[in-house]
Amino acid sequence: MLNQLLKYLNIKELYPPQKEAMKVIGKDESLLMSVPTAAGKTVVAYNALIKAVNEGKKGIFLVPLRALAWEKVNELKDICRNILNGAKIGVSVGDFDKIRGLSKYDIIVATSERADSLIRHNPSWLTEVGCLVSDEIHLINDSNRGPTLEVTLSKFREINPNIQIIGLSATVSNSKEIANWLDATLVESDFRPVPLKKGICIAKEIEWEESEIRRLGIEGAEGITLDNLPDQCLVFVSTRRSAEAQAKRLGMLIGKRLTSDEIKILKEYTEELRFGADEVTSVDANLTKLIENGVAYHHA
C-alpha cells in the first residue's frame, strides 16, 4: 500500500527520517517519530493507518484540536477513496449516540478527550483497533491535557496489547523516555526539507543572519505576513487575547488580497466546518469568519 500512497500523493522519494520510520511500520512495531515541522510525519501516520485497515483492522488518529480532526478526516477520505477501496472514515466529536455508530468506520479521527470517552463507554469494536496514531504526542507533558492522553494510550494498550502506537511530534523533549514507555522504536532527526532562515524585524526592516536587509511596506508581523504572501506564515504571540486580536488584524489585510479562486476554496472549507460540526460554538463562528479571510488562530 505504501507505493500506492506515495504515487497518489505524488511523492517521488521519501526523506531519510521517513524511510527509517516506514521500516518500523513494516515490522508492525510501535514508533515515536520526533522530527521538525514539514519533515513528513503525516505521511508516515497515514501509511500506518492504511496498512492496518488493509489487514482487516481499524485505525484511530488522535489530534489535539477539533478543527484538525476535520482536516484529517477530509484528507483520509480523499486518500482512501482512491487507494483503499473506499474505506470509511469517521470523526468522534459528538455525543454517545455518535459513539455507538462508530463501529461502521475503518479509521476514526478524534481528540484524546473523545477517545477517553470512547474507552469509558467500552464499545466492543475497540478490540479491533490495530493502529493508533497520536499527533503532537509531546502534549503528554502538558499539565492540563497530558494526563488524559497518557491514560488513553495506556488503556488502548491494555485493551489490545499488540496495538501499534505511532507517536508524532516536532518538539518532544523527553523522546527516549516516551519511546521506552510505549515500547516504541525512536526515529529522531533534525532533518529539515526547508532550510530555517533567521532574522530580526525592527519597524519596517528585517535583518537576516547573512546581513541581508529586507524592507517592508508595513511594520511588524503584518508587514512580514503580507511580504510572505502567497506562502503561509505562522505568527506567535504571548497571550490568547493577543492571538485573536492579531488574527483579526491580519484578516482585514489578507482578505483584501485573496484571489477569486482562494475566496471560493476558503468559503467551501468554512461551509464544511459549519455543517460538519454537531454544534457551532462562538469560537467556531469567529474562526470560520477569519478563515474566510485566509487567517486562523490557535491558543488551546
Q: What is the pLDDT of residues 265-291, one digit of tens each?
A: 999 888 887 776 666 677 777 888 899
Indicate if 135 and 157 belong to the same structural domain: yes
Indicate if 244 and 115 belong to the same structural domain: no
Q: What is the pLDDT of residues 214-227, one digit of tens each?
A: 999 899 899 999 99
- CA–CA distance from 10 to each of 6, 36, 72, 93 (Å)? 6, 21, 18, 31
Indicate if 152 and 7 belong to the same structural domain: yes
Q: What pTM, to 2 d.p., does this model score?
A: 0.75
Q: What is the pLDDT of residues 31-69, one digit of tens each?
A: 999 999 888 999 999 999 999 999 999 999 999 888 788
Instruction: Quote the CA–CA distance of 250 and 221 in Å, as a whole number.
Output: 9
Indicate if 123 and 139 belong to the same structural domain: yes
Indicate if 173 and 287 belong to the same structural domain: no
459528538: which residue's cell? Answer: 94
Q: Which amino acid is at 230?
A: P
Indicate if 83 and 218 belong to the same structural domain: no
Q: What's the whole-number average pLDDT of the chain?
A: 89
Indicate if 99 and 64 belong to the same structural domain: yes
Indicate if 161 and 299 belong to the same structural domain: no
- CA–CA distance from 284 to each of 146, 162, 235, 287, 298 (Å)? 24, 38, 20, 5, 11
Indicate if 221 and 241 belong to the same structural domain: no
Domain range holding 51?
2-188
490495530: which residue's cell? Answer: 130
Indicate the number of domains in the chain: 3
Q: Which amino acid is at 132?
A: L
What strands, in cross-sheet order, belong to the sheet with 185-188?
Answer: 89-92, 107-111, 58-63, 129-134, 164-169, 31-34, 185-188
CATH number at residue 147: 3.40.50.300
Indicate if 42 and 81 belong to the same structural domain: yes
Indicate if 214 and 263 belong to the same structural domain: no
Indicate if 283 and 204 belong to the same structural domain: no
